Amino acid sequence: MTGPFQPAWIAVDWGTSNLRAWAMAADGCVLAETGSDEGMGRLTPGEFEPALLRLISPWLEGRPPVVACGMVGARQGWREAPYRKVPCAPLDPAAMILAPTTDPRLHVSIAPGLMQARPADVMRGEETQIAGALRLMPDYDGVICLPGTHSKWAHVSAGEVVSFQTFMTGEIFALLSEASVLRHGMQGGGWDEEAFDSSVSDALSRPERLAARLFSLRAEGLVAELAPGTARARLSGLLIGAELAAARPYWLGQRVTLIGSAALAAAYARALAVQGVEAAHLAAADCTLAGLAALAPRTEATSP
């Protein structure tokens, strides 16, 4: 007879835009996965518990502990999990914050993010992926790059995050390609690898010319029939190149590992390869789950 569905614990990645949850077995296997677009950005504090219950209510019979990371712990989130200050280990089980709940089946703890005083910087969610990466690559010493809406570069050594820096590359790409005058020349599919490569190189070798390159993408569309796929690849290359120019101390002569989606990690890997850096790649979800697993209370697998 098959018993009720009883995960040992539940992993939750709760960012600004999305909520994802995984039902986990005691051995670390994923039993089920779910998600919604009820990110922290659209929720008031009282709306977090119902949003979570909508997704994971069927998994709660055995009262498995829920372990969450990301913007859910921001000041405007479910409950603030105050930043921990680098240099420090990316996660500390003793620093978890309990979320206020009314459903007796729910026990939710939230991982704090990291902050750096000078230069000022913050992260929420990436610290869990970094912790996961360190579990997947024990004794890793080098740089971890997490490209995305807000790309992070972190220098890790001896199990600690030593320093990190955030770049708004993904958000700026979205704003310029979807909300600025450049959007007119970027409708339609296609991609131009060569244009991407040369734009990365251009931004790296002549960073002072960046501001002059952007409107050209629109003007060439008007006077020289620039293809949308080429325009988008050039914008992406310019912005990633500008990020690499500013992040040079993080990758020059360093061991680099990328954590992110396959497509985005491939674009960064390609840009770095031109600079002579062969970056490794880990999938974001693997790192998130490995990081959250380290925070899950020790539980025995239950059987009916």
Residues that bind a second copy (CB under 8 A): 83, 115-117, 119-122, 150, 165-169, 171-172, 175-176, 179-182, 207-212, 214-216, 218-220, 222-224, 226, 239, 242-243, 245-248
Question: Where do the H-state alpha helices sit in 114-165?
Answer: 126-136
Least Å distance, CB 151 to a second copy, is: 9
Question: Residue 27, Cβ neighbours under 10 Å: how many?
Answer: 7
By C-beta, is 54 or 248 nearer to a second copy? Answer: 248
Q: How far is the CB of 213 from a second copy (least distance, A)?
A: 8
Strands 280-283 and 256-260: parallel
Radius of gyration of the chain, Cα coordinates, nearest whole angstrom: 21
Which of residues 179 and 263 has its CB atom nearest to a second copy in the complex?
Answer: 179
Cβ proximity to a second copy: between 182 and 264 the closer is 182
Alpha carbon distance 41, 185 (integer Å): 30
- We find the least distance from the C-beta atom of residue 71 to a second copy, in angstroms, to be 11
Nearer to a second copy, 11 or 235 (CB): 235
Q: How far is the CB of 304 from a second copy (least distance, A)?
A: 47
Give whichever of 7 and 185 is closer to a second copy, judged by the CB atom: 185
Residues contacting 115, CB < 8 A, separation 6+: 83, 84, 85, 86, 121, 122, 123
42 vs 209, beta carbon nearer a second copy: 209
Name the 3-class secondary structure at 10.
Answer: strand
Q: Which residues contact 64 (CB under 8 A, 6 or more apart)?
A: 6, 7, 8, 9, 10, 23, 299
CB of 169 to a second copy, least distance (A): 7
Looking at the Cβ atoms of 175 and 301, the one nearer to a second copy is: 175
Calpha distance 78→109 (Å, rounded):
11
- Shortest spacing between CB 216 and a second copy, in angstroms: 6
Establish how many alpha carbons lie within 13 A of residue 175's alpha carbon, considering only the half-sphere containing its beta carbon: 9
Task: Tell whether the torsion through CA atoms of 200, 206, 208 and 210 is positive or negative.
Answer: negative
Can you say how many angstroms the Cα of residue 180 is from the centroid of all Cα atoms in its chain? 25
Smallest separation (angstroms) from a second copy to the CB of 55: 25
**CA distances, 112 to each of 71, 109, 205, 241 (Å):** 9, 10, 38, 31
